[in-house]
Amino acid sequence: MSDAGPEPDPDPEEPRGTLRPTSARALTACIVVGLALGWALHPVMSALTGRPPLVSWAQALVLVLVAAIMGFLAWHTWQTVHVRRERLEPHQAVNRLVLARACALAGALVTAGYVGYAVSWLGDESYYADRWILRALVAAAGAAGVTLASLALERACRADGGRPRP
C-alpha cells in the first residue's frame, strides 16, 4: 500500500488563462497622477529654472498622429478578427494587446498631464498664458485620442475563444 496520493491525470486539460480589459481603476489612477503632475509642473519648473516648460505644436501634432495610427490599427484589427473572421498569429495578437494596454494607460496619464498643465495657467496674467493653455488642450485632445483608439484596439483583439456562433 502506497501513500503517494491520487494518480496524476494522464491527459490533463491545457490551462486557459483569461485577460481582462484595461480597468477603469487603472485609467482613473493614471488620470489622477497625470493631473497632479501636470498641475505641479508649471510652478515647480518656474521655481527651479525661472521659466515654465513650453508646449509646442509639434508635441500636440505627434499625439494626434499617434492617435490616428492607433485608430487605423484598431480598425484593421477589427476588420481582420470580427468582420473577415480571420485569426491573428498569436505573437501579433499579444503584441497588439500589449501595445493597446500600454498606450491606453500612457494616453490617460498624458491627457491628464496636459489638462493639469493648462489648468495651472488659468488666472495667470502672463503674455503667453493663452498660448500655453491652447497648446496644452490640443495636446490633451490628441492624447485622449490615443487613449480611445488604444481601448478600441484592445477590444478589437478580443476573440470569442473558439466558441461556435449561433
**Cell 510652478 belongs to which residue?**
43
pLDDT of residue 19: 76
36 close to 116: Cβ distance less than 8 angstroms:
yes
- Whether residue 125 lies inside any domain: the answer is yes
- Taking the C-alpha atoms of residue 64 and residue 7, their distance in angstroms, rounded to an integer, is 59
What is the mean predicted confidence (pLDDT) over 75-104?
94
Q: Give the three-class secondary structure for 133.
A: helix
pLDDT-based confidence at residue 161 (cuts at 50, 70, 90): low
Q: Label residue 158 by pLDDT band (50, 70, 90).
A: confident
The verdict on residue 11 lying in a domain is no
Is 1 a member of any domain? no
Instruction: Examine the pLDDT at 85 and tell me if it is beyond 80.
Output: yes
Q: What is the pLDDT, as a whole number, of residue 162? A: 52
Q: Which residues contact 114 (CB under 8 A, 6 or more apart)?
A: 38, 55, 136, 137, 139, 140, 143
Among 30, 70, 33, which Cα is nearest to 151's? 70
Number of CB atoms found within 10 A of residue 17's CB: 4
- In the 8-state DSSP scheme, what is residue 162? T
Side-chain half-sphere CA neighbours of 152 within 13 A = 19
Report if residue 70 sits inside a domain: yes
Per-chain mean pLDDT for the chain: 89
Residue 83 in domain: yes
Please say if the pLDDT value at position 10 is more than 70: no
Closest listed residue to residue 25, CA positions, set 145, 94, 105, 103? 105
Number of domain units in the chain: 1
Summarised one tens digit per residue, pLDDT across range 111-139 is 999 999 999 999 988 888 899 999 999 99
Structural domain harbouring 111:
24-156
φ, ψ for residue 3, nearest 5 deg? -100, 35
| Any domain includes 15 | no
Lowest mean pLDDT among 3-12, 21-30, 73-82, 113-122: 3-12
Q: pTM for this structure? A: 0.84
CA-CA distance, 74 to 28, in Å (whole number)? 22
